[in-house]
Amino acid sequence: MQIESTAILPTFAEAFDMRYVRLIVTAQDRTWLDAAVQASTGYACSVIACDAEAGVETWLDPQQTPDNRPGVSLLFFGMSTDGLGKAVVKRVGQCLMTCPTTAVFDGLPEAERRAPLGAQLRYFGDGFQKSKRLGTQRFWRIPVMDGEFVVADSVGVAAGVAGGNVILQGARSESVLAAARDAVQRIAAVPGVITPFPGGVARSGSKVGSQYPKLIASTNEAYCPTLIGRVPSELLPGAVAAYEVVIDGVDRASVTNATKVAIQAAIAHQTPGVTAGNYGGKLGKHHFYLQEIAQEIVT
């Protein structure tokens, strides 16, 4: 499919069922919110080697938060409820409880599946912690050196979709990277999604398996320009760079919407090719067909 200067290749992105948690983090001002985000979502790009995939869903005005302070909604994705719960406790304890002025609330209060949060972190209070209830929700007040750290007793865990992606490629790395950056900025306005890699963009796309038995993933050589002529290539003729935007979402619809705006960014930047990573449909049950999604742009 050709849309203006951009070829949408006949393939699909393959995504997976994952669990997610939504944390509402508030702070005194944007300075400390930024610090909280950078710390708590750091080293959270891929569950291949990280304990979670995490990022900013949306920034919140004071009237949108439980304590009427500036806030942010963060999404954390993991393979299992138990594993994700452990990751969130560690990240909140190490990165948010330590950050000046922050408080942490549950962004999925109606979820039936729960993971303990304050219920575990409260022990840091060494017996001086106190519990409180607001309506049906329970919180812990843990004494810290600027007052109290308020944290939800538990957080809801819901089923999400992770690993949606688009791969942009072209003859100039600068222009392809500019398109990828624009795609990430457009995706940021889509509710219910995150782009967990650095700046939302991955240059080291991976495939399943490796010639080294201990590795579960390795470089996707079909998209490496320095290997053209040595291995079968998925790059368009003349392409010297490919950048992948990975999308995690709360459901299929949110990932589809994010994929669409990423394709729109590629078209706006006259990116020569848009493709996606998959595993032949054998691993993830969610398949996002690029040409079907792109058809919505032209109709």
SS (H, E, C) 55-98: EEEEEECHHHCCCCCCEEEEEEEECCHHHHHHHHHHHHHHHHCC
Split at pLDDT 50, 70, 90, the class of 282 is: confident
CATH number (domain holding residue 228):
3.30.70.520
pLDDT at 136: 83
Residues 205 and 286 in one domain: yes
Residue 2 clears pLDDT 80, i.e. is over it:
yes
Residue for token pair 């398996």: 209
Residues 170 and 292 in one domain: yes
Mean pLDDT of the 138-163 span: 98
What pLDDT digit, counting tens, does each position of 29-84 carry?
999 999 999 999 999 999 999 999 999 999 999 999 999 999 999 999 999 999 99
Residue 299 clears pLDDT 80, i.e. is over it:
no
> What share of the chain in percent tops pLDDT 90?
95
Residues 198 and 288 in one domain: yes
pLDDT at 105: 98
User: Under a CB-based contact definition with an 8 Å cutoff, are residues 222 and 234 in contact?
Assistant: yes
Mean pLDDT of the 238-243 span: 96
* Tokens linked to 207: 């495939």
Split at pLDDT 50, 70, 90, the class of 191 is: very high
The CA distance from 219 to 162, in Å, is: 19
Residues 146 and 199 in one domain: no
The CA distance from 123 to 192, in Å, is: 32
In the DSSP assignment, the letter for residue 182 is H
Split at pLDDT 50, 70, 90, the class of 222 is: very high
User: Under a CB-based contact definition with an 8 Å cutoff, are residues 243 and 177 in contact?
Assistant: yes
Split at pLDDT 50, 70, 90, the class of 140 is: very high
pLDDT at 280: 87
Split at pLDDT 50, 70, 90, the class of 298 is: confident
Domain final position from 138, 158, 178: 158
pLDDT at 49: 94
The CA distance from 125 to 148, in Å, is: 10
Mean pLDDT of the 161-179 span: 97
Domain final position from 106, 131, 158: 158
Mean pLDDT of the 167-195 span: 97
- Pairing label, strands 12-26, 53-60: unpaired
Residues 151 and 172 in one domain: no
Residues 293 and 166 in one domain: yes
Residue 283 clears pLDDT 90, i.e. is over it:
no
User: Under a CB-based contact definition with an 8 Å cutoff, are residues 35 and 99 in contact?
Assistant: yes
Number of domains comprising the chain:
2
Average pLDDT, the chain: 96
The CA distance from 108 to 112, in Å, is: 9
Residues 22 and 136 in one domain: yes
User: Under a CB-based contact definition with an 8 Å cutoff, are residues 185 and 139 in contact?
Assistant: no
Residue 255, domain extent: 2-14+161-298
Q: Hey, how many other C-beta atoms are within 10 angstroms of the C-beta on 189?
A: 11
* Tokens linked to 228: 């053209």
pLDDT at 131: 95
